[in-house]
Amino acid sequence: MGRRRGRAAAAGLLPAYVAEHLPGLAHAVDTWTRLAGRHPDPVLDHAEAALADLAGGRQRENWWRLHATAVAALTPLRPLRVLTLLERYGPDSLPVAINSALGPLVAADAERVIAWITSPHRVERRHEPLPPPGVLSRLVKAEPVSLPLLGRHWLRRDRHFAALLKAMAPAGRPAFLDAVTAAGARREPALAVLELLPGGRHGQQARLAGGMACAAAGTAQARAARRTSRGAPDDDSAGVSAAAPPAASGRGPRACPALQPEVPTGPRPLAQVPRAAPSAK
C-alpha cells in the first residue's frame, strides 16, 4: 500500500517538477511531441515563454518549424490555449502539422480560427496548405458568422474556395456565394466553382464570368487604342488580339455573347413578309 501511495504522490508531483526544471533542460529534450502529450500545460508554458523572448520574424518562424508537430499534438488536449498561442505568437505561414490539426481548434472556437486564418498580420505562402476535408466539413457545420469572410479571403485561392464550397450542402452554396460577393469582392469566383453550383446558378455564373472577361478585354482594347493615338508602342497588342471580342468585317465590334440576354427556347414565329406595292400601269 505504501508503495502505491508513493507512486501516486510522485505522479502528482511530476507535472510540477517538469514545469520547474523544463526551462533548464529544454536543450536536452529530443521528443517534444511525447512530452507534450504527457505534460501539456508545462510544455505550453515553456512555449509561450520561449516565443515571448524571440524578436519575431525569422527567429519565430524557425521556432515553429522545429516545434509545430509538438504544438499540433496539443490541439486535442488544450485547444483554447493553442489558439491563444497562435493568436499571440503564431507563425506567418501555416505549418503543415498545424493545418492538419485544426479540427479540435474549430470544435473549440470556429470564429477564432477564422479570425486567425484571415488575419492581415499573417503573410501566407504562395502554396498555403489546404485544410483537410474533415476540417472544412466541421467548420461549415459549426456555422460561424464569419464564414463568408473566410470565403472572401480564399477567393484568390481557387482550390481553397472550391474545397470550402464543396464541404457545404449543394442547396446552401448559392446563398453562401451571394454572402461572399455581397460586400464587393474584387474577384468573381464563378470560374472556380461552376461545377459546384446548381443548374440555374451554374448558367448565371457562367454568363457573368464571360461578361467580366469581355469587359476586361474591352478595357484592354481601349487602353491600347489610347496608346496608339498618342504614338506610344502598343505593348498589349498581343494580349488584346487574343482576348478582345472578335469583330465582324464592316459591322464594327461584335457584342460579347455572355452579355446577351437569354432567348427563350421554342419555335420562332414566322416573319411577316411585306406585300409588294402594286406596279403602276
Tell me the per-residue pLDDT of 103-149, one tens digit each, with 9 for 90 and over: 999 999 999 999 999 998 887 777 788 999 999 999 999 999 999 99
Q: What is the mean pLDDT of residues 162-173?
A: 92
Question: So what's the pLDDT on residue 1?
Answer: 40
Higher pLDDT pick, 168 / 4 = 168
The length of the chain, given as a count of residues: 281
Q: What is the DSSP string of 24-76?
A: HHGGG---HHHHHHH-HHHHHHHHHHHHHHS-STHHHHHHHHHHHHHHHHHTT
Q: What is the mean pLDDT of residues 198-212?
A: 51
- Of 122-136, 217-231, 235-249, which gets the smallest average pLDDT? 235-249
- Of 46-55, 85-94, 253-262, which gets the smallest average pLDDT? 253-262
Question: So what's the pLDDT on residue 186?
Answer: 57
Cα separation, 109 vs 142, in Å, equals 9
